[in-house]
Amino acid sequence: MVISSAVSAPNGAFDNVSRDLKVVFTGPMGAGKTTAIRAICEGEALSTDVPISAAEAKVGGKTMTTVGLDYGECHIEDQWVLKLFGTPGQERFRFMWDILGAGAFGLVVLADNSQPDPVGEVERYLSAFAKHVPVRRMVVGVGRLDSHATPSIDAYCDRLAALGLHVPVLEVDVRRSADVRLLLSVLVSMAEVEYEQQLH
């Protein structure tokens, strides 16, 4: 499997263009990264799920968790391929984040609003991937807002803006493919504008 091919250099412009577009889905365990990739990609997604440990079993009734990566792809015209990678959520697999983040075109951070300090978690992921993906190609999707109303989307925006992270923060339910497509629509729109500005 090719992991490192991508459309852009780290933090950079749209140079070194290959025909692979790599988008990384990251976030804490149980945020819905595997579900999101499966909702959008064609055919079977590749997952490295294992039964969840007793210590981690509290998260949203999950029985399986990703320990390596999730992978799905969508073939676009002209041999372009959108490659979706999901990172493992646990801190002990952090070494995978750099491997998967290298050369990524865009980043989707998924948050689980039922977990303690979800905004802090988002900050952590955005910072961890900032060396690979520019902030202008990052988007945040917040799940379980219907059952856990706080922190609100406004609270996310305020805290992230205070750190200079002016990223879109959207309420999503990644079980709905339209919500995942919304995240990608925003990401593609941001990249498109960035590309146009570079041309001018």
Q: Of 25-33, 90-98, 123-131, 159-167, which part binds other proteins (CB under 8 A)?
A: 159-167
Specify the DSSP element, H or E, that contains 106: strand 106-112
Q: Which is nearer to other proteins, 82 or 122 (CB)?
A: 82
One-letter amino acid of 55? A
Does 176 sit near other proteins (CB under 8 A)? no
Residue of 13, 161, 163, 175 interacting with other proteins (CB under 8 A) = 161
Q: Which is nearer to other proteins, 65 or 113 (CB)?
A: 113
Q: Of 45-53, 68-76, 94-102, 111-119, which part binds other proteins (CB under 8 A)?
A: 68-76
Q: Which 86-145 residues touch other proteins, going by CB under 8 A?
A: 136
Please report, for residues 5, 32, 45, 120, 130, the alpha-carbon distance to residue 124 in angstroms, rounded to integers and kept in the order given.
Answer: 25, 17, 27, 6, 10
Q: Which is nearer to other proteins, 57 or 185 (CB)?
A: 185
Residue of 5, 148, 153, 159 interacting with other proteins (CB under 8 A) = 153
Q: Are strands 46-51 and 64-75 parallel, antiparallel or unpaired?
A: antiparallel
List helix spans (H) across the chain.
33-40, 95-101, 118-129, 153-162, 177-199
Query: Collapsing DSSP states into helix, strand and coil, what is residue 92?
Result: helix
Is residue 46 within 8 Å of residue 126, measured between CB atoms? no
Min separation Cβ 167 and other proteins, Å: 8
Size of the site for other proteins (CB under 8 A): 40
Q: Which is nearer to other proteins, 100 or 191 (CB)?
A: 191
Measure the CA–CA gap between 113 and 144, rounded to whole angstroms: 5
Does 49 sit near other proteins (CB under 8 A)? no
Measure the CA–CA gap between 140 and 108, rounded to whole angstroms: 6
Residues that bind other proteins (CB under 8 A): 14, 21, 40, 74-78, 80, 82, 136, 153, 157, 161, 166-172, 178-179, 181-182, 184-186, 188-197, 199-200
